[in-house]
Structure formats: C-alpha cells, structure tokens
Amino acid sequence: MKRIIAPKGTKDIFLPEIEKWQYIEEKIRGYFPRFLYKEIRTPIFEYSELFQRGIGTETEVVQKEMYTFKDKANRDLTLRPENTASVVRAAIENDLFNRVYPLRFFYIGPMFRYDKPQKGRFRQFHQFGVEVFGDESAQVDAEVIYSSYDFLKEINIKDIQLHLNSVGCENCRPKFLRDLEAEAEKKKNDLCIDCQRKIHTNPLRIFDCKNLKCIEISNDFPKIIDYLCEECGSHFEDVKSTLSIFKVKFDINSRLVRGLDYYTKTAFEISSNQLGAQDALLGGGRYNNLVKELGGADISGMGFAAGIERIILQLDDAKSKKGKMIFIAYQSLPLMNKAIQLAKSLWDKGYRAYVDYNSKNLKKQLKKANKIGIDYTFILGEDEIVTKSISIKNMKDYEQITIKQEELDKWLKNNI
Ligand SMILES: [Zn+2]
Ligand SMILES: [Zn+2]
C-alpha cells in the first residue's frame, strides 16, 4: 500500500529534539510570569476577516501566505498566521480590558503560513510571544524588548543582536509615505511587479521585499526615522535611554518596518549570528491602533513574537531538568515483583525508572538498558534480597557499588 506522509512544510517532533521543545516551553512558562504575564490560549482558526483587518490586506502574509478555507456552513475561516490579532480579538470579546490587570499575556502555539519551506521555516511553525495592553510608555517598550533579549540569553543563545527602529504614527507617517511613494515612483521600472503595485497601495511594504534589486534600490529611499513627529521622536529617545538602563545594546535599522501593518512607533528584531544565519529569531513592536481597528476601545498594545523552530536551531544544549534514568534489573524471574515494587517507589518520588518485563535473564536486561541510554542500573539478586541491599551499576563507566536499602534515598539525592 502507498504510504501516507506528512504534508509539505510540517514535521513530526520526537526524541531527541522533543527535549529541546520541552526545555524551551518550560523556560517560557517559568520566565515570563516574572513580569506578571499570564498565559492565554486562543483558537487555531478564526474568521478570515480578523487577519485581513488586523494584519493588513497589502501584506505578504494576507496576500500570499494564509491558509484560508470555507467550512461546511460556508464560513470564511483562516488558520492563524500569527497570534496578536487573535489575542486582541479575545481581549475585546471577553472584556479582558476591564477584568485583568495588568493586561499582560504570553502565548505558545502553532501558527500557519503558506511559505516556501526551508531550514528553520515551516508551514506549521510555532511561536511564543507576549502582549501588553494599555501602557503607552516608552519604558514598557524597553522592558518588553529587554525581556525578549534576556530570555534568549537565559536559554544560552549566543551572539544576539537587537535591531531597533521607529515606524512613526498616524501624524508623522503620511508625509513619509508621500515622499516614499514619490521616490518609488521614480524608480518604478527597476522594482519587481509586486513592489510596483505596492507603490500606490502600501509603499512601506516595499521594504519587506526579498528581491535583491528591490533591496538595493530601496536602501536609498527616505528613512522614517527622519520624519518622526515630536511625540514619536521623544518616545524613541526614551526607549533607547531605558534600554541602556537594562544594559541592552542595539543598532538602528531604518529598513525594519516588520511585515505587518499594525505597528506604530517602536519596532524591533533580534537575530543571532551564532550559526551565521541572517533570520530574525524574534520581532515585535508597538501597535497603538490595532485594538480600535478590531472594534475595541482606544487601547494601545506592545509585544513580540518569537520563532521556536529558529531558536531551536541555535539551541545546542538543552539542559533538561528531568534527571537521570534508572533501569531496574532482576536476576531471575521470581524477583520481577520486587523490581516492580522498587520501580513504584521511585515513580512515587518522581524519578524516571524502567523495568523490562520481557527479558528472562540479567544479561539481556543490561543490553536493553544500554540501548535506552540508561544512566544507572539497579540490580536485584538473591543476595541483595537477603541482605536488604541494592547493587547499582553506573552505565557510563560500569563501576558497581552495593548500598543498603535504607541508604537509597540519600544515594538518589546525591546522584540523580
Ligand atoms: Zn509620530
Ligand atoms: Zn520587490
């Protein structure tokens, strides 16, 4: 029969990589509550309109990358391509703005984009991120950026760089966009077809184009940073000075406009050169109009989203806290029940232990322990039962010791 394989752009995750996933998920849940973030989980699919209105119809995401489908009742649905629009929708719908304080959420979960699969890039990919609502201060922008930066350091990602920009607001951006449009119009024939269309629909999105010619041309286009109004300018200065209190270094990147329409003022990305990769590990910024545009009150937002697959590529050493594995071997079949009793007492205390119920002799059991990658094998023989002791074999150097049963707890504490 023909084998069925996983759809293009998806993958199964299992040992040994799954340990990195568990490690990073544990770290996220342990780290972000420090800043009073609470977890939120939103549906994997939403009405398509949420993303069209939220992300912007001229973005690459909405134009080309959404998994949109009709359900049996002809509803227009989309697998979420990102989570910010969903979190905003959830906050409005459940009136969280009046029920939760401070309004700070973090999330972890799968997102879906019809993108070209490549290293670290999948059609079902996973993100974690945070959202802060109702705080317009530059200081909170710096705190959000700091937490994302510090988290990467916490999980031992090396050589990280923060790229910073301001994309202005509805007061200062129009003049910038007019000048940008005029400049782009002059170079129209050198731009790709997509960018030619964007000139009049959404010229900011020209900066997202990955076409090398377009990048070269747009490098000479006007820079938003030169157009910031007084408010955006002083906000940006405060973000930078607060980042220095957090001792976070950054560079200014005027091309950094993020791929989504909802950003205002602060925009940032963090990348790592550890593996020579150019891709951003995470990015985010301020979105002061999104809540209003999705039908809520005039409430500001600030957040980031991080690509878990990309971070895992850089994560060489997931230090799992699960502890070492113990194999409980019995010398002869009648002793198997003793092994089961011992295993139960270890499981009760939260240790990882394994009994092989199918091997008739000790040699075969030790072979299996090796195959599993066991750290210590406990051996129960007639002698051990009579003397109320346990023989313990270190499976790395094969050294063996015998301890009294009443010494076991102390041994476990020191060795596992
Ligand atoms: Zn402004
Ligand atoms: Zn282009």
**How many Å apart are CA 65 and CA 62, to the nearest integer?**
6
pLDDT tops 80 at residue 300? yes
3-class secondary structure, 16? coil
pLDDT tops 90 at residue 152? yes
Residue 273: per-residue pLDDT: 82
Q: Which ligand is nearest to the CA of 217?
A: 2
**Centroid of ligand 2 to alpha carbon of 126 (angstroms):** 27
Residue 40: per-residue pLDDT: 98
**How many Å apart are CA 350 and CA 321, to the nearest integer?**
12
| Same fold across 17-172+228-314 and 325-415 | no
Neighbours of 350 (CB within 10 A): 9
Task: State mean pLDDT over 165-181.
Answer: 93
Residue 315: per-residue pLDDT: 85
Domain boundaries, the chain: 17-172+228-314, 325-415
**Centroid of ligand 1 to alpha carbon of 193 (angstroms):** 30
**Centroid of ligand 2 to alpha carbon of 196 (angstroms):** 7
146: which 2 tokens? 């700091």
Domain 17-172+228-314, CATH class in plain words: alpha beta
What are the E-state strand segments in 195-250?
Answer: none
Task: State mean pLDDT over 271-289.
Answer: 84
**Centroid of ligand 1 to alpha carbon of 235 (angstroms):** 9
What are the E-state strand segments in 174-249?
Answer: none
Q: Over the stretch 44-85, which tens digit does the pLDDT of each residue have?
A: 999 999 999 988 887 888 889 999 999 999 999 999 999 999
Residue environment code for 172-186, b if the CB has 16+ CB neighbours within 10 A, otherwise e? bbeebbeebbebbee
313: which 2 tokens? 């590529």
**Centroid of ligand 1 to alpha carbon of 280 (angstroms):** 26
Task: State mean pLDDT over 265-283.
Answer: 85
Task: State mean pLDDT over 287-311.
Answer: 95
Q: Over the stretch 319-369, which tens digit does the pLDDT of each residue have?
A: 544 678 999 999 998 999 999 999 999 999 989 999 999 987 999 999 999
Residue 317: per-residue pLDDT: 58
**Centroid of ligand 1 to alpha carbon of 131 (angstroms):** 22
pLDDT tops 80 at residue 316? no
pLDDT category at 23 given cuts 50, 70, 90 is very high
Residue 262: per-residue pLDDT: 82
**Centroid of ligand 1 to alpha carbon of 180 (angstroms):** 16
Q: Over the stretch 94-138, which tens digit does the pLDDT of each residue have?
A: 999 998 889 999 999 999 999 898 888 899 999 999 999 999 999
Q: Which ligand is nearest to the CA of 191?
A: 2
Enumerate residues with CB within 5 Å of ligand 1 (an ion): 168-169, 171-172, 229, 232
**Centroid of ligand 1 to alpha carbon of 225 (angstroms):** 10
Side by side, the strands of the sheet bearing 124-133 are 38-39, 104-112, 124-133, 301-307, 280-286, 264-272, 160-166, 251-252
**Centroid of ligand 2 to alpha carbon of 214 (angstroms):** 5
**Centroid of ligand 1 to alpha carbon of 402 (angstroms):** 73
Residue 277: per-residue pLDDT: 57
**Centroid of ligand 2 to alpha carbon of 316 (angstroms):** 36
In CATH, 325-415 is 1.10.3720.10:
no
Residue 120: per-residue pLDDT: 81
φ, ψ of residue 151 to 5 degrees: the values are -60, -45
- Mean pLDDT is lowest, of 192-201, 225-234, 314-323, for 314-323
Q: Which ligand is nearest to the CA of 215?
A: 2
**Centroid of ligand 2 to alpha carbon of 206 (angstroms):** 6
Q: Which ligand is nearest to the CA of 184?
A: 2
**Centroid of ligand 2 to alpha carbon of 210 (angstroms):** 7
Residue 252: per-residue pLDDT: 95
Neighbours of 136 (CB within 10 A): 14
Q: Taking Cα atoms as reference points, which of 61, 32, 104 lies closest to residue 302?
A: 104
**Centroid of ligand 2 to alpha carbon of 64 (angstroms):** 14
**Centroid of ligand 1 to alpha carbon of 289 (angstroms):** 13
Mean pLDDT of the chain: 93
**Centroid of ligand 1 to alpha carbon of 172 (angstroms):** 4
**Centroid of ligand 2 to alpha carbon of 300 (angstroms):** 31
pLDDT category at 278 given cuts 50, 70, 90 is low
Q: What is the pTM for the complete model shown?
A: 0.86
**Centroid of ligand 2 to alpha carbon of 242 (angstroms):** 35
Residue 60: per-residue pLDDT: 84
Q: Taking Cα atoms as reference points, which of 130, 126, 154 lies closest to residue 35?
A: 130
Task: State mean pLDDT over 3-12.
Answer: 96
**Centroid of ligand 2 to alpha carbon of 85 (angstroms):** 26
Task: State mean pLDDT over 367-382.
Answer: 94
**Centroid of ligand 1 to alpha carbon of 232 (angstroms):** 4
**Centroid of ligand 2 to alpha carbon of 194 (angstroms):** 6
Task: State mean pLDDT over 163-188.
Answer: 94
**Centroid of ligand 2 to alpha carbon of 195 (angstroms):** 4
Q: Which ligand is nearest to the CA of 174?
A: 1
